[in-house]
A and B are shown apart, each in its own frame.
Chain A
Amino acid sequence: MKHPGINLGPHHGTAHDQAEKVVFGFWVFLMSDLIIFGLMFATYVTMTNPVGMAGGPGPKHVFDLASVFAQTMILLTSSLTFGMASLAIRHEQGRNIISIWLYVTLALGLTFLVFEARDFTSMVGLGAVPSRSGYLSAFFGLVPLHGLHVMAGCLWIMVMILQIRAFGMIPLVKTRLLRLGLFWHFLDLVWIGIFTIVYLGGIGT
């Protein structure tokens, strides 16, 4: 029997057995997080009308499609590089190779955050602040919430890089990396919803 998410494989012994419980627990967390994001999306959608906009700046005035495209590509690539880290863990390629892939993923995650912060700054410069309209409140409730998750993910990657150096690839570190992987791929999944509904849907209207 396999769990959703990457499996270490029986040759990992204890770590593989431990993964049974902790991975299931982490899915419970991810699904509760999914509900939070989903309802922020629902709130956002209910605000995309003239009443919600309250005469304030709309999607067409404040969104920068090129920057969103860059962020999408960065996050998608980081999903691939984290996948490579997961495979390096699974195939026991040693802590150096695992760390390199984690560093690459971290760099991409931080670049994503820089682009996003720049977008928010330019929005604020255009007068699109959360207090301007219900629509903008919903926007700043949803998109920066995802940004905060990415930030937490980056912090988590840093902690894991340190733990790999300090403890080596012990079972606990392996199962933590498994969960970090699920978290990272999950964030990319939520981003699909954001770029489709918020950005492309907003600019398309």
Chain B
Amino acid sequence: MSDLDYLDDRNYWREVRHYLIGFGLALALTLIPFAIIYWKMLAFKPALTVIGLCALLQMVVHLRFFLHIDLSRQKREDLQLILFSVLLLAIMALGTIWIIGNLGMRM
């Protein structure tokens, strides 16, 4: 076994740990909203806020630990692609919900 193998091996376990941390965080952020809804722990409005926040956080966890997107040393155009797509989506989706929701209230 050469020195290089040893290095690779050590990195391997560090990377496995990275995935397990991500899995653990995602698991917690899944269990909290399910528990809140299952045991009806909160009133509707606060419950919705908490599960929404958990979902956003879990998305960040997935991006960070599974899709390996973070703010350091990335190819800039990839990040720009993701950010621009999310911006377009936000305009279209929130715009749809806003306008159609408004029309719905008038009916």
Which residues does A use to contact B, with CB under 8 Å? 1-7, 23-24, 27-28, 31-32, 34-35, 38-39, 41-43, 45-46, 49, 51-52, 65, 69, 72-73, 76-77, 79-80, 83-84, 87, 90-91, 182, 185-186, 188-189, 192-193, 195-197, 200-201, 203-205
Contact = CB atoms under 8 A, between A and B. Distances in A.
Interface of B: 8-9, 11-12, 15-16, 19-20, 22-23, 26-27, 30, 33-34, 37-38, 44, 47-48, 51-52, 54-55, 58-59, 62-63, 66-69, 73-75, 77-79, 81-82, 85-86, 88-89, 92-94, 96-97, 100-101, 104, 107
28 contacts: A1-B75, A3-B74, A4-B78, A6-B68, A23-B78, A27-B78, A39-B92, A39-B96, A45-B101, A73-B30, A76-B27, A77-B23, A79-B23, A80-B19, A83-B66, A91-B9, A91-B11, A185-B66, A185-B67, A188-B66, A189-B63, A189-B67, A192-B59, A193-B59, A196-B51, A196-B54, A197-B55, A203-B37
B97 A69 contact: no
B82 A27 contact: yes
Nearest to B12: A91
Nearest to A73: B30
Q: Is the interface of B mostly helix, strand, loop or mixed?
A: helix
Nearest to B93: A42
A2 B51 contact: no
Given A28-B81, A69-B34, A87-B12, A1 B55 contact: no
A39 B69 CA distance: 23
B19 A84 contact: yes
Given A46-B101, A79-B66, A189-B63, A35 B89 contact: yes
